[in-house]
Amino acid sequence: MNQQVVFLDGRNVGVTGANGFLGAYICQLLYEKHARIHAYVFPGTSTGIIEKSISESGSNIKTIDITKPETLFGKFNGIEYLFHVAGTVAEWARPIQKIYDINFRGAMNVHSEARKAGVKRTVHTSTMAACGACPAPYPAVTSEEAPWDMQATGPYSVSKHLGDLIAKKFNQAGVYETVRVRPHQILGWGDTGPSVPGQLVLQAITTGFPAYIDQVTQVVHVQDVAEAHIAAMERGGAGSVYNIASDKPIPVYNFLRYVCKIAQVKPPLPIAIPKGILKVVAAFSEILSDKVTHKPPILTRGNAQVLYKNTGTSIERARQELGFKPRPWQEAVNDAVRWFREGYKPVKRTYDR
C-alpha cells in the first residue's frame, strides 16, 4: 500500500454527480474544508441542493454527460483531486445498455480524461455489489479481497464491478492514483433516487411488508459514507479499496421491524419468503415492466439473486487506515423515514432521460 497524507483545504477539487444523494454530502464536507469545489452535474438536473456550498465557496457548476467523452474534454483542467461519484443504481432500464454506459464506460471516460488533465488522485465510488459475497453463512463476513461472484445478479452489479476494475487498472502511484470506496446500503436525509434501501423505507411508509427475506444487510448513514470518501482521498493508500458499512451485518427481519417501528406501521409477519417465489415474482415483474408499464419492476431477477447471498462485510481495513467509525445504523433509518415523510419529491433518474 502506498499511503500518503493529502490536504484538501484550498485545493481545486472536482466532484462528479455532485447534486446526487452522496455527491451533495461530499460537496458540503469540501465546503467546510474551504476547498475550491468544481461540481459536475448531468445536464438538466436540479442543482438546488448544492448551490449554497458552491456559491459561498466561490466555486462553479459544470454540466457533463459521462457517457459522452466529448462533454468531458478540458473539464478537469486545473483539478488536483477528483471524486467520481456519478453513476446509476438502476437494475432495470431500456435499453439495458444504458446502465453499462453510465457505470462502466462512464468510469472509463472519467478516469481517462482525469489522467490526461493531470489530476493527481481520484476517489472512485464503487459498491459492495462489486465485491464477492461471503461463501459461508451469516455471521461470517467477506473482505475487500473476496473473489467476485455476482455474475448472475444483474446489470447493476456487473457494470459497477467493471467500473471498479477500470479504477483499479488506472492507478499508477505518484502519477495518477485511484482509491476505491465500496459502500453498502446507504440511507439518510436527501435520498432523491431513491436508493434500493430508500425504496424499502418508502415502501414501509406507503404499503408495508407482508413478509421478509431470510438474509442479512448492512446499512450505513450517508454522512458516514461521505466522510469515508474524504478520508480515502486524504489518507487512503494508492490503489487501495475500502468496504464502508455498519459495524456488523443486520438480519433483514430486524432491519424491517425497526423501519416499521419508526414509520409507525405494522411490521412484517415472521414469515420468510421462499427463494422460488421471489424468482417467479421477479420474472413476472420484468415481463410486466417490459410489456405493460414501461416502468422499473418492483423486483428484478438480479435483485432476487442478491437477496439470497450473504453480503455481510468486514470494515476492519477502513477502521485501521481511514479511522472509519460508523454511527449506529438506526440513525440512518431515522433520518431516512423523516426524509420520505417531510422532504422527498420524486425525480427522474438519469437513465430515464
pLDDT (tens digit, 9 = 90+) per residue, 238-280?
Answer: 999 999 999 999 998 999 999 999 999 999 888 888 878 888 8
pTM equals 0.93
CA–CA gap between residue 270 and residue 253 (Å, rounded): 8
**Gap between the Cα atoms of 252 and 258, Å rounded:** 10
Give yes or no for residue 1 having a pLDDT over 70: no
Q: Report pLDDT for 83.
A: 98
pLDDT, tens only, 185-226: 999 999 988 888 898 899 888 888 888 888 889 999 999 999
Report whether the peptide linkage leading into residue 135 is cis, meaning its omega lies within 30 degrees of zero.
no
Rounded to whole angstroms, the Cα distance separating 88 from 86 reads: 7
CB 204 within 8 A of CB 265: yes
Instruction: Average the pLDDT over each of 77-86, 149-158, 329-338 and give the range with the smallest value.
Output: 149-158
Asked, as a colleague might, if the bond just before 183 is cis with ω within 30 of 0, I would say no
Greater pLDDT, 113 or 291: 113
Residue type, 170: F
Cα 230 from Cα 249, distance rounded (Å): 24
Q: Can you point out the beta strands (E) in the chain?
A: 2-3, 12-16, 36-41, 60-63, 81-84, 121-125, 177-183, 185-187, 216-217, 219-221, 237-238, 241-244, 250-251
- Name the average pLDDT for the chain: 90
Lowest mean pLDDT among 39-43, 93-97, 177-181, 224-228: 93-97
Cα distances (Å, whole numbers) of residue 69 to 53, 107, 225, 280, 343:
27, 11, 28, 40, 35
Fold (CATH) for 2-188+219-247+311-328: Rossmann fold (3.40.50)
**How far is it, in rounded angstroms, from Cα 166 to Cα 106?**
10
Q: CA–CA distance from 191 to each of 46, 186, 201, 296, 347 (Å)?
A: 14, 9, 11, 18, 10
Pairing of strands 121-125, 81-84: parallel
Domain ranges of the chain: 2-188+219-247+311-328
Residues linked to residue 285 through DSSP beta bridges, in sequence order: none
CA distance 141 to 208: 29
d(CA 216, CA 213): 8
Which residue intervals of 264-328 are DSSP H helices? 275-288, 301-307, 316-322
Location of C-alpha cell 458540503: 28
Q: Are 298 and 285 in contact (CB under 8 A)?
A: yes
The pLDDT, as a whole number, for residue 55 is 76
Give tens-digit pLDDT for 111-154: 999 999 999 999 999 998 888 777 777 777 888 988 887 665 78
Residues 6+ apart with CB under 8 A from 207: none
Q: What radius of gyration do the chain's Cα atoms show?
A: 19
